[in-house]
Amino acid sequence: MTISSSLNAGVAGLNANANRLATISDNIANSSTYGYKRAQADFHSVVIHGNSRSNYSAGGVRVSNMRLIDDRGPLIATTNATDLAIDGRGFLPVTNIAALDGNDASLPISLVTTGSFRPDANGILRTETGLVLMGWPANPDGSLSVYPRDTMAALEPVRINANQYIGNPTSQMTLGVNLPASSSVAGASGDPHDLTVEYFGNLGTSESLDFTFTPTVPTTGASNTWTMTIRDSASNDAIIGEYTLTFDPSQVAGGTLASVTPISGGAYDAATGTIAMGVAGGSIALNIGQLGQPNGMTQLSSSFAPVAISKNGSPVASLTSVEVDEKGHLFAIYDQGFTRRIYQLPVIDVPNANGLIALNNQTYQVSPASGPFYLWDAGDGPTGSVVGFSREESSTDVAAELTQLIQTQRAYSSNAKVIQTVDEMLQETTNIKR
C-alpha cells in the first residue's frame, strides 16, 4: 500500500505541475495582451489516514486554478481619445457586435477593464474584436436622465456621428450696460439709447435682440428711472418685454439697480438678476444683474457704454472629435469651439471580481460567485475613474513567471523521478519472487 501510494502521489504531482505549467504558459503568451489578467495554480495537499501509525500512505496533491481579475496592470498612454481604461476598481460594459447586427434586443453585456474603441462605418464605438462600448445616452441638451443602477437594460451602444451638424441655440445672455445718469435729470433731451445683441436660434440662424433704453425726464431733480424695451427680430421685431429700471442714487450703492418692474414680458428674479425672455422658439435667461450689485446694469456719469455683453450659443456646428473625462462622460467636440455631453459610461462593480466568468478577448461575465453587480458613476463608491488616451497592460510579470517555470520544471522532474524509483522498487519486489 505504501509503495503504490507513492506512485499515485508521483502521478498526482506530475498532473499538478503540468496544470501549473499551463497557467504559466498562458500568462507568458499573454504578457503583451492589453487587459489580460494572469492565471494562478495553487497546490493543496491530500491526506490519507491509515489504520496504523506505523504505516504512512502518500495522499499526493491536488490543484486549483484562479484568474486574478482584481490584479491590475499598469496604464500606458496612447494617442486615441477612446482608448479607455479604469484607474482602479471596476469594469466598463460592452456587448458583442454580432448580437447588435443580429438585432438581439437583449444585447448581452460583458465586462472589460480596458479597450481600444473606434467608430465603425455606422459610428458605433467598437474594438477590432467586435466589442461594442455601452453607455447611457444624454439628453439633447447634454443633461443626464436618472437610470436604474441594478440593471443594464437602459444601456445603449455608444454611437458617434462624425461630421454631424448640430444647432447650439442661445439660452443665456448677460447684459452689462452703463446708462448715462445725466439723461434722467430735469432738462435732459430724453433721447433713447439703442443696442442690438446677436443671438442664435434653434435652427442655427443668426437673430438679434434690439434693446431701447428711454430715460424718464422729470420736471425737477433726477428720476434715475429708465424704460427698457426689448424687440426680437425672429418675431418680426415684436416687443417681447418692457421693464422699468430704477437706479439707486445713494452714496453706498450709487448707480446700481434699485428695482426692476415688469411692464410686459417675463418676470425678473431678484435672487439671480435674470429675466426669463420668451423669444421665437424658446427662451433666453437675460442676466441684467442683481439689485445693489455693480456687475450688471448701472447708471453712472454721462456716457452710454455696453461694458459686458456675453452669451452662449453658436452657429450650426460640425462634430470633429470626442473625449472622455474621469467621470465617464463622453463629450462631443464641435468646430465652433463648444462641447456637449452625449453619453455617460458607468463603471460596474461586483463584490468578488475573481468570481467573474472569464471569456475570450479579456471579457468577463457576472456569476453567482461574483455576487450582484451595481452601476456606479466613475470615481464614486469603490470604483476608479475612467481614463481616456490610455490602455491597461497585462498583469503578467514575465520575470516572476520564468522563475516559476524553472521551479515547475524541477518539481515535474522530481515527481517523474519518484515514479521511476517506485517502478524500480516494484521491479526488485518482482525479482524477489523469482
* C-alpha cell recorded at residue 101: 447586427
Name the pairing type of β-strands 298-299 and 172-179. parallel
pLDDT score of 51: 58
The one-letter amino acid at 70:
D
Give the closest residue to 316 by CA, choosing from 346, 287, 338, 288.
338
334 by Cβ neighbours in 10 Å (0-12 / 13-18 / 19+) ranks as: buried
Give the closest residue to 85 by CA, choosing from 405, 392, 372, 418.
392
> Domain segments of the chain: what residues?
2-71+395-433, 75-164+319-392, 170-312
* C-alpha cell recorded at residue 198: 446677436
* C-alpha cell recorded at residue 114: 480596458
Distance CA 291, CA 258 (A): 6
pLDDT score of 79: 95
pTM above 0.75, yes or no: yes
* Three-class DSSP category at 11: helix
Question: Could you tell me which residues come within 8 angstroms of residue 92 by beta carbon, excluding any fewer than 6 positions away?
Answer: 84, 86, 111, 112, 113, 114, 115, 133, 345, 347, 348, 386
Distance CA 284, CA 262 (A): 16
What is the CATH code of the structural domain delimited by 170-312? 2.60.98.20
Q: What is the CA radius of gyration of the chain?
A: 37
pLDDT score of 277: 92
* Three-class DSSP category at 294: coil
* C-alpha cell recorded at residue 430: 518482482
Per DSSP, helices labelled H in 188-312 are none
Name the residue with cell 439660452: 171
Mean pLDDT by groups of 10 residues along the chain of 434 residues: 79 91 95 95 84 73 92 95 95 92 79 95 93 94 92 93 80 95 93 94 89 96 96 94 96 93 95 93 92 92 91 86 95 87 96 95 95 95 95 95 94 90 82 72
